[in-house]
């Protein structure tokens, strides 16, 4: 009699202990480097059923392993915190995380270490730089286009006939906003429109020196096209006063999103209807050595922004620089906005001051289009 023996094999499959990132670094985030050129990258999250175990991390860049798996934090009460120490300026870095001994991996991508400046794209490059041998798009360089979408930047950065803001249509006297095939034909026929923003941004990425913040480039238009005079890590002055006057979206929220790499998650910008004009009131002798210390009357009205002013001990507001005030007027059209700006400007008294009387005049009279 043959005996058949059945052996029962019980295979115990241990479920992979999964880890989740819930705070700290997010994809595409830029971290400010310190004086030594490095930054610590904080991370927090959850991991159920793994109390007492270590959170391990590894770091790579462009598929090259820089740091192999090593403990970065510890799990307690289903939660964990970790710190990736002294990551050098540059990137983009990929950070992989796991519970020690677990095959399940959570990843944070495209972490950059550098200076928290936001690259501001060109805004007035219609018809300036030749669209010949332009900088090619780069996956890590994005721009906010005229349809209020966050896209991979490519030349020309701005195509005003595609703008969803009706102000551009009114200024350019276009019968309609261009879309689809009409827009494609318009762009393909353009000969001008390249700028310096995209080449600069791509080069900074190549060098591992990311920008997230504000970068204002001063340009000179030469026979060979636009050339850089200077870079400033700030908004442009005084054009920003007109732009931000009409911005309805919270500026602080946008700046925070830029600093934390979350601009792509922001909703489309909201703008107030109408126009804005800014007139700069300059001190006597400006642009030479300005006279300072003169008392200003009327500078505390709504729409008057202070630049080169100070308050004396007796409470009087006095001039302290060359460009003293920016006076902003708004209105339903450009003519009304100019009238409001100049009415307010003419109500201000500053001995020896002067200002241009032709701001926005050519556009208001239809002699130029923007």
Q: What is the CATH number of the domain that holds 143?
A: 3.30.470
For 215-219, 244-248, 321-325, which range has the lowest pLDDT when averaged over its residues?
A: 215-219
In a domain, 7, yes or no: no
Residues 254 and 281 in one domain: no
Which CATH number covers residue 52? 2.60.40.10
> Which residue has better confidence, 11 or 316?
316
Which CATH number covers residue 297? 3.90.600.10
> Which residue has better confidence, 60 or 171?
60
In a domain, 59, yes or no: yes
Predicted model pTM:
0.56
Residues 246 and 298 in one domain: no
38: which residues sit within 8 A by CB, 6+ positions away? 86, 87, 88, 89, 113
User: Considering 265, 293, 321, which residue would you say is the last residue of a domain?
Assistant: 265
Q: Give the 3-state secondary structure percentages of the chain, helix then strand then coil, rounded to 5.
A: 20, 35, 45
Mean pLDDT for the chain overall: 82
* Domain enclosing residue 68, as ranges: 20-112
Residues 283 and 334 in one domain: yes
- pLDDT for 76 equals 94
Q: Which of 78-92, 217-231, 306-320 has the highest mean pLDDT?
A: 306-320
DSSP string, 312-332: -TTS-EEE-SSEEEEEEEEES
Residues 342 and 300 in one domain: yes
Residues 82 and 190 in one domain: no
In a domain, 56, yes or no: yes
pLDDT band at 120 (very low <50, low <70, confident <90, very high): very low
Mean pLDDT for 132-153 is 77
Distance CA 211, CA 232 (A): 13
- pLDDT for 258 equals 76
Residues 244 and 279 in one domain: no
In a domain, 253, yes or no: yes
User: Considering 265, 284, 308, which residue would you say is the last residue of a domain?
Assistant: 265
pLDDT band at 156 (very low <50, low <70, confident <90, very high): confident
Answer yes or no: are the C-beta atoms of 112 and 92 closer than 8 Å. yes
Q: Hey, what are 322's tokens?
A: 């060359």
In a domain, 1, yes or no: no
Pairing of strands 216-222, 142-144: unpaired
Residues 107 and 154 in one domain: no
Residues 180 and 160 in one domain: yes
Residues 252 and 281 in one domain: no
In a domain, 13, yes or no: no
Residues 140 and 75 in one domain: no
* Largest Cα span, the chain: 123
- pLDDT for 124 equals 47
């Amino acid at each position: 009699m043959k005996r058949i023996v059945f052996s029962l094999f019980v295979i115990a499959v241990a479920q992979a202990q999964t880890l989740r990132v819930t705070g700290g670094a997010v994809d595409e985030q830029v971290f400010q480097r310190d004086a030594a050129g490095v930054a610590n990258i904080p991370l927090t999250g959850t991991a159920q059923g793994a109390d007492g175990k270590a959170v391990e991390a590894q770091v790579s860049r462009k598929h090259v392993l820089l740091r192999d798996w090593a403990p970065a934090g510890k799990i307690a009460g289903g939660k964990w915190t970790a710190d990736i120490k002294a990551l050098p300026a540059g990137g983009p870095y990929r950070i992989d995380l796991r519970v020690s001994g677990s095959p399940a991996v959570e990843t944070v991508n495209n972490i950059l270490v550098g200076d928290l400046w936001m690259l501001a794209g060109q805004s007035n490059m219609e018809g300036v730089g030749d669209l010949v041998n332009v900088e090619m798009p780069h996956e890590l360089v994005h721009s906010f286009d005229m349809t209020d979408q966050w896209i991979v930047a490519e030349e020309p950065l701005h195509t005003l006939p595609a703008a969803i803001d009706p102000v551009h249509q009114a200024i350019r006297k276009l019968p309609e906003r261009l879309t689809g095939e009409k827009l494609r034909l318009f762009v393909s026929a353009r000969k001008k429109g390249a700028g310096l923003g995209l080449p600069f941004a791509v080069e900074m990425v190549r060098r591992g020196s990311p920008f997230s913040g504000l970068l204002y480039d001063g340009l000179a238009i030469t026979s060979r096209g636009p050339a850089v005079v200077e870079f400033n890590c700030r908004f442009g002055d005084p054009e920003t006063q007109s732009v931000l006057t009409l911005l309805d979206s919270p500026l602080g929220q946008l700046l925070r999103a830029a600093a934390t790499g979350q601009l792509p998650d922001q909703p489309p910008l909201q703008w107030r209807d109408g126009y804005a004009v800014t007139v700069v009131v300059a001190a006597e002798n400006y642009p030479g050595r300005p006279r300072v210390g003169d008392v200003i009357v009327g500078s505390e009205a709504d729409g008057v922004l202070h630049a080169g002013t100070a308050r004396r001990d007796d409470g009087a507001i006095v001039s302290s620089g060359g460009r003293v005030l920016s006076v902003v007027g708004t209105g339903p059209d450009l003519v009304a906005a100019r009238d409001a700006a100049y009415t307010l400007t003419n109500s201000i008294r500053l001995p020896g001051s002067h200002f241009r009387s032709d701001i926005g005049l050519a556009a208001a009279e239809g002699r130029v289009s923007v």
